[in-house]
Structure 1
């Protein structure tokens, strides 16, 4: 049974459309589809999260009886009723990853914790289909849902002060990719040579909420070649 939606007033210029309160790939798919629909509203910024969509707006754009929040809520309800939540169109990207070794220092620990052979961790990780649930923590950091349950792994008890850019890591039931060198406590199992965030690019973040992701295992030589190609 689908969770009912509800609107919550967050600030004079912010309204939250909440679909539930759990991290769930099917619930997040509803969020992404609704966000795609609500982006058609004029002068409204839509920011999807795990189970909600934040609507940012200028109250002066939504005059009328009951105030701007009720006016925007009515417009959002009408938009969703007209088109339905549907299915959001998704951009798909295959991300090359060099697993283990210097690029994945926690792979052996993940394998031991999960009772798996070390070779099984990359195989299971790269076999899954992922969806970008949201961006957060740092610009361009994607929270990916779809991790094989056999790879679930708690965060490190001793977070690192510096996790290299491109590090692919597991935190609980999710996978993420560090867009820059950052502090972090997720379990690092590999690294991609792709650049996840470039402020000078027309679209700074490589990924967006709702995108679909697959990982492809590569060797260290291929990593170095691709890293050189993407360094500019």
Structure 2
């Protein structure tokens, strides 16, 4: 049997939520643990939990403090969070249409220039990847992905745009 995993940090988030933090950086191992804990809590609910919100590296657990306190909740969550990860199951595959360049991708030329390549090469490398939904964002249907080819990693813009045109 696989060894249990190191415990996450339990951080109070206001008076009715706890952040179960698996890492201080974004990485796929931490995200796998977040999603496993979220799934385990859904399968075997703990009385008092009202909602869970997975992120790249932590799970926010909202609870009713009249039903369970922070310490008692932590005592119930930690054993679940340190279990060996379940085997990877076959994932659903989605095909997402992407428009590159022009009015829909106003940074394509700059990215290609910064990476010393062509827009066509950037498109081919990006479109050829397999990505994993790591979390769902604040906008319905907006998913945050992991799995980008390291050769496409870029720093943020040095001077952020004050206005981003609609549709980009």
Same fold (TM over 0.5): yes
Aligned residue for 2:119, secondary structure, equals: coil
Q: Show the counterpart of 2:18.
A: 15
Does 2:59 align with 1:53? yes
RMSD: 2.4
CA drift of 1:125 comes to 0.6
Q: Which stretches in structure 2 are left out of the alignment for 5+ residues?
A: none
CA drift of 1:160 comes to 4.6
Q: Show the counterpart of 2:77.
A: 76
Taking the TM superposition and a 5 Å limit, the aligned residue runs for 1:57-68 are 57-62=63-68, 68=69
Aligned residue for 1:21, secondary structure, equals: coil
**Are the structure 2 counterparts of residues 3 and 130 from structure 1 closer, same or farther at C-alpha, using a change threshold of 3 Å?**
farther
Q: Show the counterpart of 1:180.
A: none
Deviation string for 1:158-178 (max 9, x for gaps)? 41513434x4xxxxxxxxxxx
TM-score of the pair, normalised by structure 2: 0.79
Deviation string for 1:28-64 (max 9, x for gaps)? 12211121112232452111112111110111222xx
TM-score of the pair, normalised by structure 1: 0.60
Deviation string for 1:141-198 (max 9, x for gaps)? 3322211111112223241513434x4xxxxxxxxxxxxxxxxxxxxxxxxxxxxxxx
Looking at structure 1, the residues matched to 65 and 92 of structure 2 have their Cα atoms a distance apart, in angstroms, of 32
Looking at structure 1, the residues matched to 134 and 41 of structure 2 have their Cα atoms a distance apart, in angstroms, of 17
Taking the TM superposition and a 5 Å limit, the aligned residue runs for 1:150-169 are 150-156=151-157, 157-165=159-167, 167=168
Looking at structure 2, the residues matched to 135 and 160 of structure 1 have their Cα atoms a distance apart, in angstroms, of 25
Q: Which stretches in structure 1 are left out of the alignment for 5+ residues?
A: 63-67, 168-232
8 Å contact 1:33–1:88 — kept in the other structure? no
Q: Show the counterpart of 1:203.
A: none
Looking at structure 2, the residues matched to 139 and 126 of structure 1 have their Cα atoms a distance apart, in angstroms, of 23
- The structure with the largest strand share of the pair is 1
8 Å contact 1:34–1:85 — kept in the other structure? no
Q: Show the counterpart of 2:106.
A: 105
